[in-house]
Structure 1
């Protein structure tokens, strides 16, 4: 008889399966803003409207042109919902079965439509998408300002936003739409440094970790010759850099939001069981599980196997209070790319005096 996988193994495998779906959904949202799915003539028409908005300095019109809104990230919202439900279903397996008078057994099942659970999911998903959309508007605002300051033509600024078509692959590459505002500034900094012709400024590019190092020799040659790089070469370098930052952005959102949504789903499931009288809150215990390797925050390693009551918070060495790993209340320093997970269990002895 095959050995039943441990809770740790089962949850870890579940999270590993769910994380790529969140990354794919985020990438779909970015593709929606980068004109994916449109014919070349349709893309060109959107580019023209974007150029007109840029020429007027109209950030909101530019955002509307690129579909920077909730609809573009509907795939991400759906993926988060699936992760939330998976977390709820995992916690539901810990709720004891009830044997009725007629001998039948009632199994607790998590209902994602439960008012409390639906409210929690709606709030979390809304806050996540709102943050991404607001960030994209800031990216547009910054790029428009940079374009004006540098005297760029509206078309160049438009392509800096949505990327350029690779004539070989026919795919759009580069562009800062989809990046965080700070990441978009990194791309702009690289562009300015490479176009400056100033050796000291150009050398700073070597400190940008996500750059495509295959271009290092080209940069060094320009520095030694005392010349600045041509626009086409700078475009290629910044496109590669931007694409790598976008990959990092997708990975960060996938890891962070998968863990957060899964644990929020567990919390919602147990809250439903408590509200329905299936279990008392006093016997529900939350257990923190951390990966014990060099990548794990010391504040989380210290919490490994820590147990708290259902309504109690885990307190990190920095003093942050988290209801679960990935709790947004802990702030970015405690949740970004966190790999910890939470186990819920029922401890009937906890209710004994």
Structure 2
């Protein structure tokens, strides 16, 4: 399977993962009430507020990650030389179960931390701006749309930095300062349909009205939530798929194939979209289990890998792939010992 085919498989998993994230956020909001959120903000009960708005276990997303892992392995087994026999991933093997358990636990912890940070930013920014507990509760959970009857425009589900973007945007809109209003108009994820409203305020040297600012900031929050969900989906699809591919070769080693028989090469898309820290990695070769090194010094066993400390800046929206090769002399020499399905 070539690089383009692998990327198509990964991209095909992304919409369902993004939807699973957004559905979980929607379920969280459906279970909460504005009156309760307002009361907890007024009481400054941050712990209880975090419990009320806890985003849950993301069961659907976690199952999709498991499926992505298995899909990656299934895609790779066809590349194993036939001389080694038919290959099949044993998802119940210790190595596979260990990766899935650790990865899912880490992801859940990170998303819970992001949620706490996002809530804290929205509440503290709102209080600092003199907003009432009721207004802040609506900033968190969103306001009811007349079109759909559902809440939209809340910051629940956003990490702290994205929640800060929303708070800053609202401050800019309400400032009445031409310079601050111009800064709002540079925000990439803003809804440009509201730009004429902002331009009128800018020309008049007046703030955007409170109700209009809430509408504009809410739409901005919705777009940031979509962006965040897509980023999670792209990152998780790539990492789970890549980890499944890598696991196929680890199982071959567990069955007796010498580790030195397997090499892997880093392949970029070789276009202008390749991030700077990956551009120089094209053709970088490593033995199985050894990490690749980015230009910035981050270590990844395969594209998307965060297990060795690489952050979002090295993994989000990455389109690179690893290419695995079993040296021909080893494939012939060890074929007799390795025939049979991996079990």
- Tell me by how many angstroms 1:185 deviates: 0.3
- Tell me by how many angstroms 1:257 deviates: 1.6
Give matches, 1:1-353, under 5 Å: 6-35=1-30, 46-69=33-56, 71=57, 73-97=58-82, 107-277=86-256, 279-328=257-306, 329-349=309-329
SS at match of 2:286: strand
- Tell me by how many angstroms 1:344 deviates: 2.2
Q: How far, CA to CA, are the matches of 2:3 and 2:122 in structure 1?
A: 45
Q: How far, CA to CA, are the matches of 2:128 and 2:277 in structure 1?
A: 43
Residue of structure 2 equivalent to 1:3: none
SS at match of 1:285: strand
- Tell me by how many angstroms 1:98 deviates: 6.6
Contact 1:28 1:75 in 2 (8 A): no
Q: How far, CA to CA, are the matches of 1:233 and 1:166 in structure 2?
A: 14
Return closer, same or farther for 1:12/1:149 CA change in 2, 3 Å cut-off.
Answer: closer
Q: How far, CA to CA, are the matches of 2:124 and 2:156 in structure 1?
A: 15
- Tell me by how many angstroms 1:310 deviates: 0.5
TM-score, with structure 2 as normaliser? 0.89
Residue of structure 2 equivalent to 1:103: none
Q: How far, CA to CA, are the matches of 1:339 and 1:55 in structure 2?
A: 46
Return closer, same or farther for 1:33/1:89 CA change in 2, 3 Å cut-off.
Answer: same
- Tell me by how many angstroms 1:9 deviates: 4.0
SS at match of 1:130: helix
- Tell me by how many angstroms 1:150 deviates: 2.4
Count matched residues: 330
Contact 2:303 2:318 in 1 (8 A): yes
Q: How far, CA to CA, are the matches of 2:270 and 2:249 in structure 1?
A: 27
SS at match of 1:330: coil
SS at match of 2:266: strand
Unaligned segments of structure 1, at least 5 residues: 1-5, 100-105
Contact 2:298 2:310 in 1 (8 A): yes
Alpha-carbon displacement from aligned partner over 1:21-52 (angstroms, at most 9, x marks no partner): 221222222222222xx6xxxx6xx2222112
Return closer, same or farther for 1:272/1:140 CA change in 2, 3 Å cut-off.
Answer: same
Q: How far, CA to CA, are the matches of 1:261 and 1:135 in structure 2?
A: 21
Q: How far, CA to CA, are the matches of 1:176 and 1:112 in structure 2?
A: 37
Unaligned segments of structure 2, at least 5 residues: 334-343
TM-score, with structure 1 as normaliser? 0.87
